[in-house]
Structures are given as structure tokens and as C-alpha cells.
A and B are shown apart, each in its own frame.
Chain A
Amino acid sequence: MLWLQVLVNGLALGGLYACIAAGFSLVWGVLNIINILHGSLIVLGGYLAFFAHLQLGISPFLFAPIAGMLLFLPGFAIQRVIISPVMARPVLMTLVLTFGLTLFLDNLMLVAFTADYRKINLQPPLGVLEFGDVVLPLDRLYATGIGLVSVGALWLVLRSTQLGRAIVAVRMDRDAASLMGINVRLTHAIAFGLGTAMAGVAGALLAAIFPISSLSSSGYLGKAFVICVLGGLGSVPGVVLGGFALGVIESYGALAVGPENALTMSFLLLIALLALRPTGLLGRKGFT
């Protein structure tokens, strides 16, 4: 029964993990930017949810979509004003730039919120679902469910709206996209904004379950990176697969080698996967 419980623990995080990685994958795929800032934006979303709960009594689950909306505009503006001028430069330039931005935002949050771990205390607690010996905490179920719904919403936008088609078109062929009349720079900014919005949603959901701190951004960035590589870059189904895969791997890893080594194990797995199947589980070779 322990094995089953561990599996449930892993699956209960999968949707949330997919949500953590979705925006990162979108930005990487469409803009060809490895957005180091993503982890800090997740933490910022977490703080927004924390204070919304503390000051206004809004449940983080209800607040998650609001956090997404709140973070869209800053993301749009960051891309338009700061990143856009170096878009044409090699990927290392944008990587360094977003690394700089993440140092800035992390330290800003450190000043504003200190490094203390903070946790949202849901009153009353949501409790657990019990199936025989197997226990499923409801807060995790909600977080993973809302995470999955958010990723699904992103997928729907990309698949069946004119904006989504434009984003995919810009990803596939920027020149041809501009021949359709698509404003490539604007589309880049919107895609980046959607990426930060997803980070906001993920942050709010994380804050509902785990303690947050100004210094925890790199852990989330690492998870997003592993999930993208596991599932294959630039595909929404890949992110979902990668999210659940990481959740289950971490869960069994924690059982096998202790919780403190779980992340190490997922990175070891990442290295093995990169060596054996560099395009990811659902990925394809090449960028187009």
C-alpha cells in the first residue's frame, strides 16, 4: 500500500508541476529564450497569493487566475522594453539578461518580504480524501486540478484562437508570420506575458500547499527545466506528461533515497535522459 500512496503523492503534484513548467516551455519554444526569471515570477505569484489571503481573506485557489492576470502585464512590459532589444542576439545574451532580472527581482522580494518562509494557513483546513489506506490531501488535489485546468486553457488558446495560431506561426517561421500581417514583436510580448501569467498561477497554487520564500526561485526554475526536457520542449501535452513524470519520480525518489535527495535524483535522471533521448519523451528533433 505504501507504493500506491507514493504514486498518489506523485500524481497529486503532476498538474501543479505542469503548470510550473507551461509558461517556461512556451517562452522557450516561441521566443527561443531560456527565461531564468520564470522561477522568481512563480515566487512573486506565491507572495501575491499569500498577501491576498492574509489581508483580504481570498483563498489561493480562487486567487490563482487573478495572480495570472496580474502578472500578464508586467511580463508583456518586460519583454517589450527590456528583452525585445536583444531578441536578435544569440540565446546566451537573453539568458544572461533574464539571469540579471532574476537577481534583481529576488533581491527586491528579499527587501520587501524578507527571506522568512511563509505559509498560507487555510482556515478551516481542507482535510483529506481517504481510500482505504491511501490518503489524498484535498489541497493538493485542488492545486493540481486548477493547475491542469490552467494548462488546458493555455492549450485551447494556442490551438483554436487566432492569437494562438499567430503564436505558433511566429514560433515556426517569423518571416512567413509577418507576411500574414502578424506583428511579430507584439506576438512575442503577448507570448511572454502568457508565460509570466502561467508563472503567477503556478505560484499562487504552490503557496496554497508549500511554504514560500524569496530565495526559493531557483528550485522552481530547476523543476520547470527538468519537466520541459522530460516532456519535450514547446508542447503543451509534453509539459503535462513531464509534470506528472517528475511528480512520480520525485515521489518514489523520496521513498528510495530520502526526501533530501529527491531533486538530485530527478536531475540525475535528466542527465541520463539528455544522453539517451535528447529530444525529450514527446519532443521532436530540431526547433521547427
Chain B
Amino acid sequence: MTQPLLQVNDLAVRYGDVQVVWKADLVVEEGAIVAMIGSNGAGKTTLLRAISGMLPPYGGEIIFAGEIVPASAPPEFVRRGLIHVPEGRRLFARLSVWDNLMLGAYLRDDKAAIRQDVERVFALFPRLRERRWQDATTLSGGEQQMCAIGRGLMAAPRLLIIDELSLGLAPRVVDELVDALRKVNAAGTSLLVVEQDVATALEFADHAYIVDRGRTVASGTAAVIAADPAVRTAYLGL
């Protein structure tokens, strides 16, 4: 049996004395697109921060590509190919689009492959090529998200985690991003996406998890989750 790319077992996360994630179990199979949905304050972002090493877990374990990742700083996760595109894009101000993309490849030294990956990002998002010398934080919201995703791709991820893919973006832009991410996925990168637009998320993903009050309360294929009456009333407003 093949092991999953990412397996999160019984994860608990605290900010000081405040426990935000109580019990999260999550599996991302190699090549999958997994969506994580849930209301504001359910603990989705906190869970992602723990999965990418930004917060040390209070309990539980994170197994990536068959190895338990020790509780350490993000560089250890980045080195293994687990890349987190944070909520709010968090592009580096005063640095150009090009510099931002290059920072995505910070831990790599395979120059030729980095060049290739830049071309790949520009092919995916042609507008980034046009604006590559521009301060990244002066781009439009959609272009910033493209740049943030492109920066993530520059790390040659095995798993790309995207927090709030569509927040604040026009539907047309979201479609463009989803199309691009499908291509990324088809090329072999697994995706874990947090998305507040549940309808979009369930259309995009193969598999979905529902997070509520710090726990993963339900999971299944996107079609099954979308058909769940509780999900339909709580998240889709149907």
C-alpha cells in the first residue's frame, strides 16, 4: 500500500494558554487536491501554520512523505517540499516580482532548474512576466495571489498549501487561479487549499475536510461532502 504524502494525526495547537486546534486528523494523498472548509475562527489557518512548522504542535504528529517531521522551524518543512502560501499573500514589499520569486527558491541551488521553474511560473501567469521588475506589493490583488503562488512553486513543492485562495478576488480571477492550479496539480504537485467559498472549493477539490471548533469533524470525497445535507445548510446556504 502506498503511504499518503501528508498525514496529520491527532494534532493539537495552542497559542500560549489558548488552545485553538483540539484534534485534527488529515490525509493528503500524493497527487490529490484537498480542500479544507469551515467557518471563521474554526482553526483552519492555525492548523495550516502548524502543518508548515510556523507553530509547534502541542500534541500529535505530522508525517510527510513517510517521515515524522520534527517540531522545528519552517525551513525543515520547506526543504522537504512542503510549501505554505500564507493568508494575505505576504509578498515582500520593496522587492520586485522577480526577487519575490527568487526568494521562493531560497533553499535551492540548482540554477538551471530554477530558471526552468521561473519560465514555468511565467507561462502559468503571463502577467507576472510583464510585471517582473515591479514592486510586488503594487500589483493588483489577483496578480499578488499569482505572485504568491508562483513564489510557492519556485520552491519545487511536493505539497503546496494555500490559505484563502480567493479571498477578496473577483470571480473571473478566481477561475484563472483555479485553472492554473489544476495545471500545477496535473504536473504532479499535491494541493491543500483553505477556501472560504465552499462551492468553489468543493468543485475544485477531490477530497474535502470540514473543520469546526478546532476539530476535523467530517471528511470525504468532494462530491459526498457537497451532497451532505448538513454541509448544504451550514456552508452552502441551500
Contact = CB atoms under 8 A, between A and B. Distances in A.
Nearest to A288: B93
B54 A169 contact: no
Interface in A165-216: 165-166, 168-169, 172-173, 175-184
B96 to A, nearest CB: 10
Interface string B63-75: 0000000000111
A179 B54 CA distance: 8
Majority SS of interface residues in chain B? loop
Majority SS of interface residues in chain A? helix
Interface stretch (B98-106, B139-147, B222-230): B98-106
Contacts of B106: 162, 165-166, 180-182
Interface in B97-119: 99, 102-104, 106-107
Given A162-B106, A180-B155, A172 B93 contact: yes
Contacts of B54: 175, 178-179
B78 interface: yes
Interface residues of A, number: 18
Interface in B126-153: 151
Contacts of A288: 93
A172 B95 contact: yes
Nearest to B90: A176
Range, interface on chain B = 20 to 34
Contact of B52 (A162, A172, A179, A182): A179
Contact of A178 (B73, B95, B151): B73
Contacts of A166: 103, 106
Interface in A274-288: 288
B43 interface: no
B81 to A, nearest CB: 11
B138 to A, nearest CB: 13
Pick the 6 closest A-B CB pairs, nearest first: A181-B78, A176-B90, A181-B107, A181-B75, A178-B74, A172-B92
Interface of B: 52, 54, 73-75, 78-79, 83-84, 86, 90-95, 99, 102-104, 106-107, 151, 155
24 contacts: A165-B95, A165-B103, A165-B106, A168-B94, A168-B95, A172-B92, A173-B90, A173-B92, A175-B54, A175-B86, A176-B86, A176-B92, A178-B75, A179-B54, A179-B78, A179-B86, A179-B90, A180-B78, A180-B103, A180-B107, A180-B151, A181-B74, A183-B73, A288-B93
Given A172-B95, A180-B78, A181-B79, 17 more contacts: A162-B106, A169-B92, A172-B92, A172-B93, A173-B90, A173-B93, A175-B86, A177-B103, A179-B52, A179-B78, A180-B103, A180-B155, A181-B78, A181-B155, A182-B75, A182-B106, A184-B73
